Structure 1
Amino acid sequence: MAMFLQKQKTQPQSTGTIIRILPQHSSRRQHLAGPSDAIATNPDSFLEAYGPIGILLFIAAGVSVCWTVWLIVLNVRPKETANYLMDTADFDDGHFWLIIDPELDITMLNAVTLGALAASYVNVLLKMTVLRNSNFRIVPAGPSWEEMSPSLIARAPWLCQFLHQAATFWIELTGYYGHYRKFWNMLFKAGDIIVEAVQLHHLLEAGLSTTLAYGYTALIASSCLSQAYFILFPVAHTAFSEVLVDTVFDMFFAVVCPIILVLHSYTTFDLDRALARLYLKVYFPGSFQRQARMQSDPVVTTLFRFAFDSLRTLTWSDLVIRVTMNISFSYRLTRLVEVIHQRRKRLRTSSAKLAKLRTQRRVPCWVGALFVAASVFVLVYTNKCISESQKACELYPQCVAFAYRWDRQDVCPCLALVDVDRAPKTYG
């Protein structure tokens, strides 16, 4: 629909005129120019194009590529990944963790989608390096009205007018300087919070560490409050601040939090691997002492399995949540890179004739109050889920892992029972 964005020269421009931040050229030249057109003179260095923040963005994109590729390997070969990560491949014939492979169709679709996301992060790296002197455009520029198909205009002028208005409204809604950009950011943030709340519910049902649960909840609450701040206390030209803050939150949810989960699981697991390997050399095959799983702490072993499985895509809902969160982060990271490049180019280009920025419509304050209420609710909900489940399960010390639920049924939602005395006082 971008081809319908510019009207005939004899017609007056509508209020939805595209706001450009590039030097103004003729319409034909704008049509020929594209993202792949390199600037022939005065190419920008990396720091000139992105500044010091570009280094952080480059690192973030690189970490995202590595993490996404590792997730692909983890979901395709979960048993081998767990053994390599925890150095347990030599024990129990490689079945130390008793991991069952997921369904093939989910695994293949997950690998394809994660591969596409990794490619999007690579695209960000390319834009920041070999393609940084290309003409990035925050708003797409379509062909002029004269360049449209004359036959289409003659046969269906109403259709052309409708498509033109729809495309103009879309750019006004999603464009960096669009009149309704704040509404787009608000809707995008609301969708993110819904997905993050569903993910929080999954984490609570998985019975992970309370520290991780509270930390994830605090992150969601902070994300809600940041959006409420931008709505309740708007300042002039906060588009860059909003994009930057939202990108940071998206990276935490999509990349940083799963990495913290892996590190937490790795540090809490304890196994005397030297003793287990000694038993493999001393005892004959089939003996009880060769079973390394029997020598490990069943509590930490079980908790690691729960944490590791939370990184896997085992159901279709897991696939939708993971893909949605990563798409959101990839979209915002790409947008942030383009915005920084354009902003710094504007500051260095004194001769450019730039279009005047129009006032962007504010989001009603009551919407900001809803985000504040959402942040309070998610904190209260998580605290009640954890406290209610701990109260219901305190009579069952054998239950080492239980789901966190707020159902008021006084029933312990136990997930794993460990009833063993590893150090009996007597042998009679």
Structure 2
Amino acid sequence: MTEPESTATAAKDREVFFSSESDGPLRRKSLLAQKAPASQNQTKVYPGDIHADGSSQDRSRATTPSSHGVLKLQLDLKTLLLQLALAIALCVCLAWTLWLLLLNVAPNDTVNRVMNTESFDSGSFWLLVDQSSALVVLATFGLAVVALSYLFILITMFFRRKSKQEIYAAAQSPTSKLASLKKRVEKALDDAAAKPKRGKVASSAVKLAASLARDGSSARKFIVRSWWLIVDSIIVLNVYIVLTAFQQKIWLKIGDLALETTMLYQMLEAGSPAALLGIFTVIVASNALTCAGMIFFPFEHTRLVETLMDIMCVSPYASKRFDLLIAIGYPMLVLFYCFSTFSFDRAKFAINLEVFPPGWFEQGASVIADPVQTAVIYKCLKSLRIASVLDFFTRVGVNATLCIRLYYLVKQIQGPRKQRSSGYPKRHRAAAAFFVAFAALLVVFVEESIRTSTLACRPHPECAVNARRWTFLESDSMTQCPCLILIDRDIGPKTFAEWEQPKNVTDKVTQLATMGELQTLQLVNRYLPVLPDELRRCTEMKHL
């Protein structure tokens, strides 16, 4: 090509740009787009994508579709196993709630069926007194609502409808949004280039973008100031939300522990077996230590972990906050304890029924049964019933709270992307130290309550069940035992003198009734000429 021809060609090119000056930048954009196909077909090769043999590899193929399928299959399998375990737990909760409902409606029949004592003393072996009709109706209503809640959660877990967010998830994904935005922008620019009169808005937008590109423009300063104002507001709002969530989470946990401690105190006062008290204490202390661990050791998917910890490691009764172990697991353990520790000589009882006439003393099953063992089991079984309005709020309340936690757990399993960060503060030494100190003090309190009350009742072997109360012992004191059940009997006197002149137990009854805690007094072949005045203090007397 000669020099004049090249000059003419350059002038022609410049003329194209000059002719588009009146249309603004949009016209130039459309003209440049006509030359794009030649360059778009070019493949960019990066140094990291070139292999030793000179071939290149597309980065988008780093994760193959097969690997995505394997990961999705593994995730679906884990989710299925977790849902199966949760379904089993819900079925257990539902079955236990229905059994509690039967226990409150027909206590003696239900316990006799479980303990296999239907033929003992015409079905009244355990002497469980029926509650008032109003309380039975209230308990039935509350437990029925809890059972329906468990059933609703179980149905929700397997038969859920997709939410609108899930339906439009693909359309709202970042990739689709970016592609849609790109198409709309290109269409607007093309329309503005083809129809200048209708492209004023787009042209103004482009001019605004150009002005924002200049450092000293007022528009850019305004946008920057507004942007930082929004950022600062968001930071302040997030800090406020975090602090509020922290306070709520900590105070809720403190309230939870306070309620659990109250429940534990009631168990101590009721004289529960030391083994059951130890298990309950471990659960409550583990709850506090788990909180401290969640504060110091962050986990992945912390919200799901905290929910699982709350469900598995915490829970109180009614005014006490709740968990699977205490709402369901611990009461089931109490029933298993009663069933496993109950021993009865059924062969001897069958012989007595055949030998002695009806109505004789020897035909009573309570004569053969171990009275101390029966008294302990009676106290344990009684603790499972709703015997007052306070019991209603505690038993039903703990199960209702467990229902709420299980419902949230199901939602978190179904939508793992909705999990938020931990509600517990991280590395907060004061809160962690409080929970650790609480656990240590709780263990010391329970240990001292059991030890001192045992020492106070050691001089009185007739005391079958005593309250586990922290007692400041006095030397040579015989009236500090917080006795709940006094049993002293001799069903087989060995000599005629013992038959004619039984042992006088007036002083013993007086000593054990001084604290005013007696609830059961059982004397057989013992001499009690008058009822001591100290028995008037025992306002909770149930059996005499």
TM-score (norm 2): 0.57
Cα offset, 1:340, TM superposition: 1.1
Q: Which of residues 319, 322, 342 in structure 1 aligns to 2:415?
A: 342
C-alpha separation in 2, matches of 1:103 and 1:47: 51
Indicate conservation of the 8 Å contact 1:49/1:341, yes or no. no
**Larger Rg, first or second structure (1 or 2):** 2
Q: Name the structure, 1 or 2, with higher relative contact order (CA <8 Å, separation 6+).
A: 1
C-alpha separation in 1, matches of 2:141 and 2:435: 35
Higher share of residues assigned helix: 2
| 2:363 corresponds to 1:290 | yes
C-alpha separation in 1, matches of 2:110 and 2:286: 33
Letter in 2 for 1:196: E
Cα offset, 1:219, TM superposition: 0.7
Aligned to 1:372, what secondary structure does the other structure show? helix
Q: Which of residues 391, 408, 412 in structure 1 aligns to 2:472?
A: 408
Q: Any stretches of 5+ residues in structure 2 without a counterpart?
A: 1-72, 167-236, 314-322, 475-479, 498-544
Q: How many residues align?
A: 338
Indicate conservation of the 8 Å contact 1:193/1:220, yes or no. yes
Q: 1:288 to 1:235 in 2, by over 3 A?
A: closer
Letter in 1 for 2:85: L
> Which residue is equivalent to 1:377?
441
Q: Which of residues 218, 243, 254 in structure 2 aligns to 1:190?
A: 254
> Which residue is equivalent to 2:303?
239
Q: Which moved more, 1:232-241 or 1:113-122?
A: 232-241
Aligned to 2:97, what secondary structure does the other structure show? helix
**Where in structure 2 are the equivalents of 1:159-174 lying within 5 Å?**
none
> Which residue is equivalent to 1:225?
289
| 2:383 corresponds to 1:310 | yes
C-alpha separation in 1, matches of 2:291 and 2:413: 21
Letter in 2 for 1:420: R
> Which residue is equivalent to 1:362?
425
> Which residue is equivalent to 2:163?
135
> Which residue is equivalent to 1:103?
132
Q: Which of residues 54, 59, 70 in structure 1 aligns to 2:88?
A: 59
C-alpha separation in 2, matches of 1:326 and 1:400: 32
C-alpha separation in 2, matches of 1:134 and 1:126: 14
Letter in 2 for 1:362: P
Q: 1:359 to 1:186 in 2, by over 3 A?
A: closer
Cα offset, 1:274, TM superposition: 3.7
Cα offset, 1:261, TM superposition: 0.5
Q: 1:102 to 1:409 in 2, by over 3 A?
A: farther
C-alpha separation in 1, matches of 2:262 and 2:424: 31
Cα deviation per residue 1:57-112 (whole Å; 9 max; x = unaligned)? 11111000000111111011111112111122212122111221123222221221
Letter in 2 for 1:123: F
Aligned to 1:220, what secondary structure does the other structure show? helix
- Paired-residue identity, %: 32
Aligned to 1:418, what secondary structure does the other structure show? strand
Indicate conservation of the 8 Å contact 1:180/1:360, yes or no. no
Cα deviation per residue 1:316-338 (whole Å; 9 max; x = unaligned)? 22222212221221111111111
C-alpha separation in 2, matches of 1:136 and 1:415: 61
C-alpha separation in 2, matches of 1:221 and 1:359: 21
Q: Any stretches of 5+ residues in structure 1 without a counterpart?
A: 1-43, 139-168, 347-353
**Where in structure 2 are the equivalents of 1:15-34 lying within 5 Å?**
none
C-alpha separation in 2, matches of 1:302 and 1:136: 59
C-alpha separation in 2, matches of 1:51 and 1:361: 29
Q: 1:216 to 1:360 in 2, by over 3 A?
A: closer
Aligned to 1:405, what secondary structure does the other structure show? coil
Cα deviation per residue 1:236-271 (whole Å; 9 max; x = unaligned)? 641111111111121001000000111111111111
C-alpha separation in 1, matches of 2:78 and 2:261: 37
> Which residue is equivalent to 2:489?
420
Cα deviation per residue 1:372-417 (whole Å; 9 max; x = unaligned)? 1111111111011101100100000111110001142651000111
Indicate conservation of the 8 Å contact 1:232/1:368, yes or no. yes
C-alpha separation in 1, matches of 2:249 and 2:386: 29
Indicate conservation of the 8 Å contact 1:389/1:405, yes or no. yes
Letter in 2 for 1:69: L
